[in-house]
Structure 1
Amino acid sequence: MFAFHSDAHSLALPPGHRFPQSKYRLLREHFEREPGLLRMQPAPAASEGELALAHTPDYVDAVLLGRLSAAQQREIGFPWSPSMAERSRRSVGASIAAARAALEEGVAANMAGGTHHAYADKGSGYCVFNDVAVAARLMQAEWGRRHRSLLRVLVIDLDVHQGNGTAAIFRDDDTVFTFSMHGARNFPFRKEPSDLDVDLPDGCGDADYLAALDRAMDEVWRRCEPGLAFYLAGADPHEGDRLGRLKLTYDGLAERDRRVLTALRERRIPVALSMAGGYGHDLATTVAVQVNTLTLAAQSWQAFNARGND
């Protein structure tokens, strides 16, 4: 399975900053020690034109040229630097590359991404550009040119935080179905309406979470027939997450991933994964959750292609 990484470009963060940027390097290094499961490649940088498919030109320029105001940088949560801008472009490029690979092979992944708090005209909550929104619109354009038909897209957002930026970008677009299941009392405190939102109470554990997921996915299939899915497989619903407020176990998150990937594979819907959030008190636990997500994705890729070759 193809997996694209962008951790070579670091953020100039002050000591004690809550954003765990080292997890992306640790995730890549884990699979480098166990070669054969993933075909890892450095992510290409998204072009200005690609970014403008989901973002205003003024905002793209502000990020790429270092013109973000102090207030804009505070809302994003990162100080601007050339490396921050390049990292953001490559995080989007990773989702673009993963989506193209998924359309060819069934399953692929961005080893970062899931920056769902970025709006068309601003960043927020550690999200600069919205990688899934850009990739979705680009895949629709490329598909339309190649096949002369419409590519409908499904966004399955299981980060613990609601995908407000993604919901806002696609608010009036009936070609993209947005589904977010998240903590009701968690950031962002002003939610944007997705096509389907499921709000979960603090302390929600495995059984209640998985039951809610099953009900929601049944609703998704009643309302949506996508040709491509994006799955934001956040690790932050884990019980050990500093920002999560939910109580899923490692096994519960594995079952979440298994159910989503199985449902997509059985319907022959290609999927591009993003790792999205994860802020564990113990960073090794967050990495372990995301290692398992990518391992299950690679197994789904194998099954997807084995079935295709029957």
Structure 2
Amino acid sequence: MTGFVSSKWARVAERVTVSKMTRPRSPLVYSPEYSVQPWPREHRFVMSKFHDLAESLREDGYLTGPHVHVPEYPSESLIESVHESSYVRAFNNGTLDDNKLREIGFRGLWSPELVRRTNLEVAGTVLAAELALESGLACNLGGGTHHAHRDRGSGFTIFNDLAVAAVALLDKGVDRILICDLDVHQGDGTASIFEERPEVCTFSMHCQSNFPFRKCQSTLDIGLEDGVGDEEYLRILKDQLIFVLKAFQPEFVLYDAGVDPHVGAYHLTPPA
């Protein structure tokens, strides 16, 4: 997997003790409905990226077989475990205030298809987390909606899939969850949702000068300056991640690999 696509990796500490030759493929979660069509080509949110990622994996033979799972449409109660009921229902019913749709970045773009892809994307991350409890590792080919707060969306994100998945895991008895967010933007929504939940550690390593310009306080924020190169980025990440893992000792890790390529913010080598 490349870091410039939206994905959610989840793992438990226990390692699978089989060889690479015999180990089954880790579960992948994907729905064709992740990419709403039609979608304005000029819009800054590239809706086709999820379809493009899936097609790339399909061409390489990774998107076929029993390890591929399709999420089912979730109940509103699942989303409301994190988000305010009035906000969830207003978006799902198409009655969300125009100003709130503008803050999300989807003003004039509400549709039943957008509602379905938004809910399915969250369900996909929850499903990937549940599968990871069984297999040790799983990935959702959508998600990364870390700007969504309890009562509002922002930055092209409507419902916070990371937060919903984390709460679902806590309800299943997982005691300590690390959310490792390496998107170029800070995970402000995730940080605000778990501000008073010490059982969830939010770690965000992002470009300090980038959106959101009013950042929330994560458990640990690493704001990088523009122009960081490969070697420095990996050194900082290694040092900070080792520190977090030792200090917090999570039972489960949710990894937000980032939705956009954003190599322009740093001097990182673009993916091949």
Give TM-score scaled by structure 1 length.
0.74
1:158 Cα deviation (Å)? 0.2
SS in structure 1 at match of 2:172: helix
Structure 1 match to 2:18: none
Q: How does 1:200-279 map to 2 (within 5 A)?
A: 200-234=224-258, 236=260, 238-239=262-263, 244-250=264-270
Structure 2 match to 1:171: 195
SS in structure 2 at match of 1:8: helix
Structure 2 match to 1:41: 69
In the alignment, which of 195, 204, 211 is matched to residue 219 of structure 2? 195
RMSD: 1.7
1:221 Cα deviation (Å)? 2.1
SS in structure 2 at match of 1:185: coil
Worse overlay, 225-234 or 168-177: 225-234
Native 8 Å contact 2:54 2:63 kept in 1: no
Give, in whole Å, the separation in 2 of the partners of 1:70 and 1:166: 23
Structure 2 match to 1:18: 44
Aligned-pair identity (%): 42
In the alignment, which of 137, 140, 162 is matched to residue 132 of structure 1? 162
Structure 1 match to 2:181: 157
Give, in whole Å, the separation in 2 of the partners of 1:119 and 1:151: 23
Change (3 A) 1:158 1:45: same
1:167 Cα deviation (Å)? 0.1
SS in structure 2 at match of 1:174: coil
Structure 1 match to 2:122: 92
For residues 111-146 of structure 1, the C-alpha deviation after alignment (integer angstroms, 9 at most, x for no partner) is: 010100000100000101000100110111123xxx
Which one-letter code corresponds to 1:46 in the other structure? P
In the alignment, which of 105, 111, 116 is matched to residue 77 of structure 1? 105
SS in structure 2 at match of 1:133: helix
Which one-letter code corresponds to 2:68 in the other structure? M
Worse overlay, 62-71 or 12-21: 12-21
1:31 Cα deviation (Å)? 1.8
In the alignment, which of 125, 130, 133 is matched to residue 103 of structure 1? 133
Give TM-score scaled by structure 2 length.
0.84
Structure 2 match to 1:50: 78
Give, in whole Å, the separation in 1 of the partners of 2:37 and 2:161: 18
In the alignment, which of 146, 153, 171 is matched to residue 116 of structure 1? 146
For residues 176-199 of structure 1, the C-alpha deviation after alignment (integer angstroms, 9 at most, x for no partner) is: 000000000000000000000001
Native 8 Å contact 1:156 1:231 kept in 2: yes
SS in structure 1 at match of 2:68: strand
Structure 1 match to 2:96: 68
Worse overlay, 8-17 or 20-29: 8-17
1:40 Cα deviation (Å)? 2.4
Give, in whole Å, the separation in 2 of the partners of 1:196 and 1:155: 10
Change (3 A) 1:90 1:8: same
SS in structure 2 at match of 1:203: coil
Structure 2 match to 1:181: 205
Native 8 Å contact 1:55 1:121 kept in 2: yes
Which one-letter code corresponds to 2:254 in the other structure? F
Which one-letter code corresponds to 1:70 in the other structure? D
Give, in whole Å, the separation in 1 of the partners of 2:259 and 2:207: 13
For residues 15-55 of structure 1, the C-alpha deviation after alignment (integer angstroms, 9 at most, x for no partner) is: 41111111111111122222257632222222111101110
Which one-letter code corresponds to 1:35 in the other structure? G
1:68 Cα deviation (Å)? 1.0
1:237 Cα deviation (Å)? 5.7
Structure 2 match to 1:2: 27
Task: Give unmatched runs, 5+ long, in structure 2.
Answer: 1-25
Worse overlay, 130-139 or 14-23: 14-23
Give, in whole Å, the separation in 2 of the partners of 1:165 and 1:235: 15
Q: Could you say which structure has the greater relative contact order, defined with CA pairs below 8 angstroms and 6 or more residues apart?
A: 2
